[in-house]
Structures are given as C-alpha cells and as structure tokens.
C-alpha cells in the first residue's frame, strides 16, 4: 500500500462551539431519498495513516493495521455515513457532529461512530515510524511545569492507559479553561491557568466533549493490541511510549491549541466589550438617575 | 440499546445487556465461586480466591472457541482479575482510614465482578461431547418459550444484543430471580474473548458460541 502524504493535523474546530446548538435529530433515512439541500451526501473520509501499514513494525504489526485501520476504523466511517446521510449532520464537519451528538452526555446514535472515526485518525497521527524519544523543548517545558518531570508524566500517562477499565483511550490534553463561570470572570487570567493534563475516557468518549484540546492519545481497546500483545496491555503501552509516539504531532497540535485558546480569548473580550459598551474602558462614574432639581427627599 | 458509552454500567464490572429475564421456574443458584480454603480468614471474614479449574481442556471447545483463546482467557485474563481482587482485598484490610477503603471499592467491584462473571462463564460452556450446544428442555425451555416466544428468538435476540454492545461487556439473558441478579448464562463480548480467532467479526463469534453453550447448567 502506497504511503499517504502526511498532512499536518489542523483543528478546524470552529468557535461556534460555545453557542448552544439545538440539534433536531431525526432519523430521516427512510423519508429522504431526495438530494439534501446542496446535494452533499455523507462524505466522512476513511483517511489512511500518514505512513504505510507495515511502517511501525515490529512494534505494531501490519496485521494489526489491516484489522484496526482496515476493518474497525473503516466500519466506523461507513456506519457513520449511513447514519447521517440525508440529515442535517450530513453537512457538518466531523468535530461538530461529535459535539452535537454528544448531546451533553445523552448520546445520540451517531456519536459512537463519529467519535471513533475522529479518535482513530487522531491515534494514527499520534504515532510515527521511529517514534518515541523526547518532545520538543517547548512541550518538555510545559510537561515539566505541569507534571514535575518528563518521567512523572510518562508514569501518569501509562497508569491512565493501564487502568482504563474495558475499552477506551488515554490522552494528553491542553486544558485552556480560564476558570470563568457565568458572570464570575477570572480576574487574573494567566498562561499558568492553561494546563497539560492526562485524562482517560471510556469507549468512544474523547476530550473534545469536555472542551479540552487533545494533544496525544493511545487506543486501549483490546483490538488495538491483542494481536501483538494479547493481554499484556502494559507492554503495549510501554512500546507505544518508547517506540511509536510522535512528539512532532504533539508540538503541532499544541500550537493549534494555543492559537485556538488565544482566538477564543479575543472573541470573549470582544463580546464582553460589546455588552458593556464603552463604559468598560473608563472609570465608572456614578450615573445620575434623577435630575438634581427635582429632589424627592422628604427633607424640607 | 441502553448501553450508553460514557456511562458504563458499573454492575459486575461490565455492561450488561438489556435482556434480563427473570426465570420463574428457577432452581437454586449454585455457588460457583471457588473458595480457597487455605487462605487465612481475615478478621472481617473476607477471603481471597484462586483460579477455578475449567471442567474441560482448553481445546475441547474447538472449533467454536480456539484453545489459544481459552488458555489466554483463563490463565491470563481471569487470573488477573483474581490477582487484582486479592491485592485490593489485602489493601482494604490493611487500610488505616476510610478514604483509602473507599478508593479501593472500584478495584473490588471491577475485579470481583470480572472474577464472578468468568467463573460463571466457564460453566456456561461445555464440549459438544458433554452436551454443549444441546438446546434446553423442561422448565427452562418452557420459561424461554414463554418469555421470548421461542428458543430461536432468544438466540437471535442475544446475538443481536451481543453484537450491539459498545466496547467491553457481557450479554446476560438469563439471571436468577431475587434481590441480587446473578447471571445464569452470560456471554463474554469483551474483545479478548474472541479477537485472536474472529478479529472484528463479533457476530461470527456469537453465531458459533451457541454450539458449545451448556444449557444444563442454566437449567
């Protein structure tokens, strides 16, 4: 199989995520044979990994890829396309489909397929031939800041991957939450609030639904390692960290995550200014509600 | 499908299929969990367990389930549940404070549940020469016909539910009546149960496992 050209992973994640989307999910499959609006039919792609299927041998076998990419990932794509064709999900980019069908935890049927398509693409790109080693200085600095040391991060990541019970994923994410809740705005926002965090998730769940920016993932569904490692999940995880992980991808994703966080901050600033009007820029003077002439006080 | 991802059913360490049948004509549940008589009884009366032996050889369920899978499944996966359960138990009994005990609860539940489920599972299977695959008769058959319409309908429903389980879990169509639902028949649909032989084609595994299901136990 010819190697696909590696394309840098871009976040097409739109800032409309913050708005509340009302999704009217209807199973239109039976009624819609006509072309939908712009006649786009379900077009989620089954993207190949950015390397050939045997490129990660002997750490991850070609046979594993033939099943994992060739069957599991392909099935998620095909089933998703079947589910969304003719519905309003059909016109949306994949990340938006995931968020819409996550539905605040009350999962709609296409969620599993949509999230798993995204997860697997992200996973292939989290690995590379000749992977492993150390991250870039920038990533390393953040890891040291948030985990204490690179070794501490690796230990925590491996533990998360090993203890995810049953099927799921372990992640390194960039958490850009600014501690803003409702009208209680973080008075002293700083870069320090933005953390690198390790999380684990079950089945198809991914950190996009928590509004985190994923940087790295490992698939710990049994199908990901069973042919090569059988029950020895810890060996698989160690091999992943030592021989497969693509720190290049992590660096690219970190840049994108930071850019996205900055963009969001700018938008929120703009929105706040619009709401408050120009007064926010000057010292707020007490506004006279009533004219000084008409004094309604009882004092004579 | 009530098995929601992201809200994994924590019962018995795995997601239980939605087909729960309370069998009216049920007989007493046999306690399957092998106790280790040599283990010292702890002060709270909680004891450790050891791996129960299979009532058949690893290769006896072929070609439905390969010997390789049976061996790994029994000696590695089931054993790991028992080992981790025993470890958690030791830790709980040595715990000095409540938070530690609470934190260990999930280890007990997941590993204990895994141990119970697998112990029952081994007896749910039998080699063909020992009656594996023979359809049930008598009160159980009557109950199945009553609740599912027909034996074939039960099989179909279970296979469909098993295929629909997202991620890791079990399909337990037959459980005992009473306060605690103990599976009489459970099919493991964790990927480790079939992957080396069937890879991603879980439906084929489900189709074939019926040839070695031991209905006599469930009766």
Give residue-wise pLDDT tens across range A1-19: 444 444 444 444 444 444 4
% of chain A beyond a pLDDT of 90? 64
Q: In chain B, what percentage of residues exceed pLDDT 90? A: 61
Cβ atoms of residues A46 and A77 within 8 Å:
yes
Q: Which residues of B touch A75 (CB under 8 A)?
A: 200
Task: Tell me the C-alpha distance between A257 and A166, whole Å.
Answer: 29
pTM of the model: 0.78
pLDDT for the residue A1: 42
Q: How high is the pLDDT of residue B46?
A: 73
Indicate the average pLDDT of chain A: 84
Inter-chain CB proximity A203 and B166 less than 8 Å: yes
For residue A194, give the nearest of A176, A206, A207 by alpha carbon: A176
CA B185 to chain centroid, in Å, comes to 7
Of A167, A226, A227, the CB nearest to B167: A167
Q: Indicate whether A219 pLDDT > 70.
A: yes
**pLDDT, greater one: A192 or A47:** A47
Nearest C-alpha neighbor of A236 from the set A250, A246, A253, A223: A223
Query: What local confidence, expressed as pLDDT, does residue A15 receive?
Result: 41
CB contact burial A38-75 (16+ within 10 A = b; e otherwise): eeeebebebbbbbbbbebbeebbbeebbebbbbebbbe
Structure confidence at residue B60 as a pLDDT band (50, 70, 90) = very high
Most confident of A249-253, B97-101, B150-154: A249-253
Start-end of H helices in B95-212: 98-124, 138-148, 151-164, 195-198, 202-209
Q: Taking residues A124-145, report their average pLDDT.
A: 96
**A residues 215..244 contacting B (CB < 8 A):** 221-223, 226-227, 230-231
Q: Which two three-digit tokens encode residue A249?
A: 């991808």
pLDDT of A296 reads 58
Length of chain B counted residue by residue:
219
Say yes or no to pLDDT of A120 above 70: yes
Does position A35 have pLDDT exceeding 50, yes or no?
A: no
Measure CB to CB from residue A112 to each of B80, B166, B192 and give the nearest one.
Answer: B166
Q: Is B32 on the interface with A (CB under 8 A)?
A: no
Would you say A23 and A101 are in contact if contact means Cβ atoms under 8 Å apart?
Answer: yes
Residue A155 has pLDDT above 60, yes or no: yes
**CA–CA distance, B66 with A215 (Å, rounded to integer):** 39
Task: Phi first, then psi: give them for residue A172, nearest 5 degrees.
Answer: -105, 125
Q: Mean pLDDT lowest for which of A69-83, A181-195, B19-33?
A: B19-33
How far is it, in rounded angstroms, from Cα B124 to Cα B217? 6
pLDDT reported for residue A190: 74
Give B177 or B151, the one with higher predicted confidence: B151
Q: What is the average per-residue pLDDT within B12-21?
A: 41
pLDDT surpasses 70 at A34:
no
Whether the Cβ atoms of residue A119 and residue A206 lie closer than 8 Å to each other = yes
Confidence of residue B44 (pLDDT cuts 50, 70, 90): low
Question: Tokens at residue B66, please?
Answer: 């390969």
User: How far apart are alpha carbons A216 and A210 in whole angstroms?
Assistant: 15
Please tell me whether the interface predicted TM-score (ipTM) of this complex is above 0.90.
no
């Amino acid at each position: 199989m010819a190697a696909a050209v590696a394309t840098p992973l871009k976040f097409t994640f739109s800032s409309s995520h913050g708005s509340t989307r009302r999704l009217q999910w209807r199973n239109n499959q039976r009624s819609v044979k006509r072309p939908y609006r712009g006649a786009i039919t379900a077009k989620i792609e089954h993207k190949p990994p950015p390397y050939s299927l045997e490129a990660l041998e002997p750490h991850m076998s070609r046979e594993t890829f033939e099943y994992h990419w060739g069957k599991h990932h392909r099935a998620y794509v095909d089933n998703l396309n079947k589910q969304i064709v003719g519905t309003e999900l059909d016109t949306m980019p994949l990340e938006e489909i995931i968020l819409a069908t996550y539905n605040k935890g009350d999962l709609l049927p296409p969620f599993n397929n949509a999230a798993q398509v995204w997860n697997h693409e992200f996973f292939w790109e989290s690995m590379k031939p000749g992977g492993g080693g150390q991250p870039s200085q920038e990533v390393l600095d953040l890891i040291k800041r948030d985990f204490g040391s690179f070794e501490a991060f690796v230990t925590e990541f491996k533990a998360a991957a090993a203890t995810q019970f049953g099927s799921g994923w372990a992640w390194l994410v960039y958490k850009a939450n600014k501690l803003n809740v409702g009208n209680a705005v973080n008075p002293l926002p700083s870069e320090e609030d933005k953390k690198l965090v390790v999380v684990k998730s079950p089945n198809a769940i991914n950190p996009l639904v928590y509004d985190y920016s994923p940087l790295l993932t490992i698939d710990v569904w049994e199908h990901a390692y069973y042919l090569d490692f059988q029950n020895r999940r810890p060996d698989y995880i160690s091999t992943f960290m030592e021989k497969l992980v693509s720190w290049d991808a992590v660096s690219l994703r970190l840049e994108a995550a930071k850019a996205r966080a900055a963009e969001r901050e700018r938008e929120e600033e703009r929105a706040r200014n619009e709401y408050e009007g120009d007064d926010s820029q000057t010292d707020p003077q007490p506004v006279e509600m009533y004219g000084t002439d008409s004094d309604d006080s009882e004092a004579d | 499908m009530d098995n929601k991802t992201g809200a994994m059913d924590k019962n018995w360490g795995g997601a239980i299929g939605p087909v729960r049948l309370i069998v009216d004509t049920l007989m007493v549940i046999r306690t399957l969990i092998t106790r280790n008589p040599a283990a010292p009884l702890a002060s709270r009366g909680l004891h450790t367990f050891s791996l129960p032996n299979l009532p058949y050889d690893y290769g006896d369920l072929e070609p439905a389930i390969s010997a390789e899978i049976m061996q790994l499944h029994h000696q590695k996966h089931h054993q790991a549940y028992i080992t981790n359960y025993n470890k958690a138990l030791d830790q709980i009994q040595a715990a000095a404070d409540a938070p530690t005990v609470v934190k260990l609860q999930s280890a007990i539940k997941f590993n204990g549940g895994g141990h119970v489920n697998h112990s029952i599972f081994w007896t749910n299977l039998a080699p063909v020469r020992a009656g594996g695959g023979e359809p049930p008769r008598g009160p159980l058959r009557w109950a199945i016909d009553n609740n599912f319409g027909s034996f074939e309908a039960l099989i179909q429903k279970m296979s469909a539910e098993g295929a629909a389980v997202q991620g890791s879990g079990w399909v337990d169509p037959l459980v005992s009546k009473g306060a605690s639902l103990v599976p009489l028949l459970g099919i493991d649909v964790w990927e480790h149960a079939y992957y080396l032989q069937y890879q991603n084609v879980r439906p084929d595994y489900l189709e074939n496992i019926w040839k070695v299901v031991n209905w006599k136990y469930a009766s």
